[in-house]
Structure 1
Amino acid sequence: MSEWRDRKQGASFRGVPFLVDTDSVPVGRRTQLHEFPQRDQPFVEDLGRRTRHYKFTGFVAGDDCLAQRDRLLTALDKPGSGELVHPWFGRLTVTAGECEVSHARNELGLVRFSLEFIDGMLAFPVQSPNTRRQLAGQAPSLLASIKGRFNAAMAPIDLARQRATALRSALSGALGYALNFLQPASSLGTNLNGLVASLMNGPGAFADSLLAGITGLSRAFGGYGSSSAFQGSSAKATEVAALSATAPATEDVEVATIQAAVIALVQDAALLDLLLDMAEVPVAIRPGVSAPAALDVQLAQQGPTVVAGTAVETAVPVAEDVLVVRDAISEALWSVAGESPPEHFGTLSEARLAVDRHLTEVARSGVGLRSYAPAETVSALVLAHALYGDALRSGEIVERNRVRHPGFVPATDLQVAKA
């Protein structure tokens, strides 16, 4: 079969098809001719490539030609650029120019168009806030506010009068949570008796020890996959908010005050840890799928078989997953802030707004989900290539739907990325 038949595509703009009679495209260079007296040769100044105006004489036809016309008019009237499928140049991003529509009495069932599309648009840089850096900038003020709150709460307490056994009983829940959740972020030891002794000897040093390891911990983003620390952040945030409800009742006023102060300190430390983790989450840069790798390269890069219980880290976040993490952390910050003094309430509120802004940007840079059911059992590699034009994205389908073997994706409703 000839090449022009292989390459010819049906014309459309913003997904609305139309038929083409003829088309024309100006090509070449823009030039300025300079002619000089007593010179036989002119000087031709090159001003760059000519702007390509894709001009069509086209039509829509059929019993529903007026409905087709209205859809094409709607697509042409939308502001901004859109995708043009040119019969011979393929997919292009263009802006609709001066177009005309005409009807003729002797051509019932047919509407003609004179179409013009302009290729390219000069993009000017637009400032946008670095939400990741803004979030990281909340850590120093939050750290100072946490220490100030704890020291102020512990200042009127005479720890010398307190019995170690009473403190151990009152603080076991909060400190046990600190050991399980904050290790290895915390530099405190793992012995509860030692922690109680450290608190009785110096509350300020105790708070410094708890917080120093968190701020000094080396952090690295581990991906958006279900097995990553990012996905586990929502569960951690839920535990932080529920920690104050696990405090045992006590009739000793000073012990109750110490207990509340330590629980608040542990909650604040956990929130600071989550804030620093979220400050490592990047706004994703989504790779285009218009030019996927060659099939032999995709096959060579295809990873090993994914078995049950394992997961492949995804490079692009799923918007719904990011919003779940955002809402959980925001709720935990709000819950702790509601039980805080006014100064600390303001600091936590600013941190909550910074987390919301950053994770909203991360979600906006990700992809949404949609339901899709294959007609029959198929390989994940084949399904990914059919959906996205890129077989390398088969790991997303396997991980999202917990497929036991990537060679056999069942013909049931699956959750797949929209793009």
Structure 2
Amino acid sequence: MAIQPQQAPVAAPTTTATGWRERYVRGSFRGVGFVSEQREQSGGRRVALFELPFRDTPIGEDLGRRAGEWQIDCFVHGTDYMDRRDALIDALEAFGPGTYVDPWTGQQHQAYCEDYRFVESTDEGGMARFTILFRESGAERPLTATTDTAALAQSTATSLSADLPGDFAQRFSIDKAAGFVEDAAADLVATVATAAELSAATSGGLGQALRSFESGLRLLPSGTAALLRAPLSLGQTLVGLVGAVSALSAQPRARLRAVEPLARFGGDIDAVVGTTPARRRQAANQDAIIHLVRAAAGAELVKAAAQIRWTNQSDATMTRNRIAAIFDAHALSAADAGEDARADQFDRLRTALARDIGARSAGLARGYRYTPRATEPALTIAQRLHGFGPAMEAQADALVAMNRVRHPGFVRGGSALDIVGSEPRNG
């Protein structure tokens, strides 16, 4: 059988909760997961005991710590349980030590699988039960270097946002333009302000973020006349306005919902008709404002996604695909118009988003479906399925986001829901 390298250590749980349910993690060996039912651990010291003639007390010599042993009763289940069973068997029979993640502590050990057995029956269709004996190998854990993809995504988005006003100032101008060109630009700025207000209404933020948003909004449209003659300031104000909408909520998923419409801004705005110099200037200004809002909102989407703690691979994949589709559409449109620099901006955002979500959601559970019997709050469903704990609100928020629930207090009964996390054993 081929030699398999040791699995690199995975990130240890960061929770500071003291309850055992909060500390419990999904067990695995060589990265292949299983659901644990019971664990037995043994250890101790290796002692050489000497009982000498005519001496009533023995003499002991400590030879060091015994190798740790863990006997795990676990199972794999699901419609694809045979594939899961075979993957676990391959991991257990592979040559050399592998990384064993203890479900009760989250600690990682380099261990051999000394013995295993499994049973499956028609009475428990779709399930294979394993009893596995792991023995500590003493092998050193491999040193690995990892990339903080979330920080990298946020850095990319922040850098792009900082460059937007300067690029906008080079493209936007009303200098010596006809009066209708200035009026059209002012109307479009007012449209941006309206769109920002509508997006902000979905957040319901409070405190300093709300005051910052309202302060920026007061410049629009009352301060528009002055801003139109200072394109750099106008660009900074519009980028700041989009950022303020995002900052209204402390929850990254709520920020996604608030900012996503701004990332699609301008789709229903009619193109400027005419080829006169004044019309071309009007079209260029309109294009500059629309792109600025879209790119600034795209950067905020990447920042928000980088702060989500993914608990379910399906949720992460759906979010990535939805946002990436927006970036792809804008990049393609810009490339068709010969705007390679703009296309590159959206390509950078999409790459940072996909790399971050892909890296942080790799190996997560794919989730399951649950149908509530009656209409009830999302928090009630999250508590029923996952119990009380620090993750309950995050589970409820993910439920609302994945299923596009209009109001978290009224999740409609009788309709199947996509649920994040591992399926509870009782249902």
TM range (shorter): 0.5 to 0.7
Percent identity of paired positions between Structure 1 and Structure 2: 14
Partner residue, 1:295: none
Counterparts of residues 114-263 of structure 1 (less than 5 Å): 117-118=133-134, 124=142, 126-139=144-157, 141-143=159-161, 145-154=163-172, 159-160=175-176, 162-168=177-183, 170-172=184-186, 174-182=188-196, 184=213, 187=216, 189-190=218-219, 192=221, 194-196=223-225, 198-199=227-228, 201-211=229-239, 219=247, 222-223=250-251, 228-240=254-266, 242=267, 245-263=269-287
Provide, for residues 364-414 of structure 1, a one-character-per-residue CA deviation record: whole Å limited to 9, x for no partner: 58764432346x669888965774465857846984585999899845533
Question: Quick one: distance in 2 between partners of 1:215 and 1:405?
Answer: 25
Secondary structure at the counterpart of residue 239 of structure 1: coil
1:351 and 1:398 mapped to 2: Cα distance? 26
**Aligned with 2:67 (options 34, 37, 50):** 50
Whether the 8 Å CA contact 2:246–2:300 is kept in 1: the answer is: no
Q: Which amino acid aligns with 1:414?
A: L
- Residue type of the alignment partner of 2:191: Y
| Preserved contact between residue 221 and residue 280 of structure 1 (Cα < 8 Å) | no
Shift in alpha-carbon separation, 1:370–1:258, aligned structure 2, 3 A: same
SS in 2 for 1:415: strand
> Separation in 1 of the partners of 2:86 and 2:275?
76
Give the corresponding residue for 1:350. Answer: 348
**Structure 2: gaps (5+ residues):** 1-31, 51-56, 74-80, 93-97, 118-129, 198-212, 423-427
8 Å contact 2:164–2:292 — kept in the other structure? Answer: yes
Matching residue's letter, 1:263 = D
Which of the two has higher C-alpha Rg? 1
Deviates more, 1:316-325 or 1:131-140: 316-325
> Is residue 331 of structure 1 aligned with residue 331 of structure 2?
no
> More deviation in 405-414 or 133-142?
405-414
Instruction: Give the Cα–Cα distance (whole angstroms) in 1 for the partners of residues 408 and 243 of structure 2.
Output: 41
User: Per-residue deviation at 1:137?
Assistant: 2.3
Gaps (5+ residues) in structure 1? 1-12, 18-23, 35-39, 57-67, 102-113, 288-314
Q: 1:53, 1:179 → 2: CA distance?
A: 61
Report what 1:6 is aligned to. none
CA deviations over 1:303-347 (Å, ceiling 9, x no partner): xxxxxxxxxxxx999325522542244235425642464444434
Mark the CA change 1:119 to 1:411 in structure 2 (over 3 Å): closer, same or farther.
farther
Check whether the contact 1:98–1:115 (CA below 8 A) recurs between aligned residues: no
The 8 Å contact of residues 378 and 408 in structure 1, kept in 2 or not, is answered as: yes
Q: Which residue of 1 aligns with 2:77?
A: none
What are the Cα deviations for residues 113-138 of structure 1, in whole angstroms up to 9, with x where unaligned?
x9862156875563322222222323
- What TM-score do the two structures reach when normalised by structure 1? 0.57
Q: 2:416 aligns with which of 401, 413, 418?
A: 413
| Deviation readout 1:252-297 (Å, 9 max, x if unpaired) | 323422432343244224422441353244455578xxxxxxxxxx
Q: Residues 123, 210 of structure 1: CA spacing in aligned structure 2 closer, same or farther, 3 A cutoff? A: same
1:236 maps to amino acid: L
How far apart, in 1, do the equivalents of 2:175 and 2:278 lie? 9
CA RMSD of aligned residues (A): 5.5
Contact 2:327 2:350 in 1 (8 A): yes
Equivalent residue pairs, number: 333
**Structure 1 residues 192 and 249 mapped into 2: Cα distance closer, same or farther (>3 Å)?**
farther
State the distance in 2 between where 1:152 and 1:417 align: 46
Contact 1:284 1:365 in 2 (8 A): no
C-alpha change, 1:387 and 1:354, in structure 2 (3 Å) is: same
Question: Relative to 1, partners in 2 of residues 1:418 and 1:26: Cα closer, same or farther, differing over 3 Å?
Answer: closer
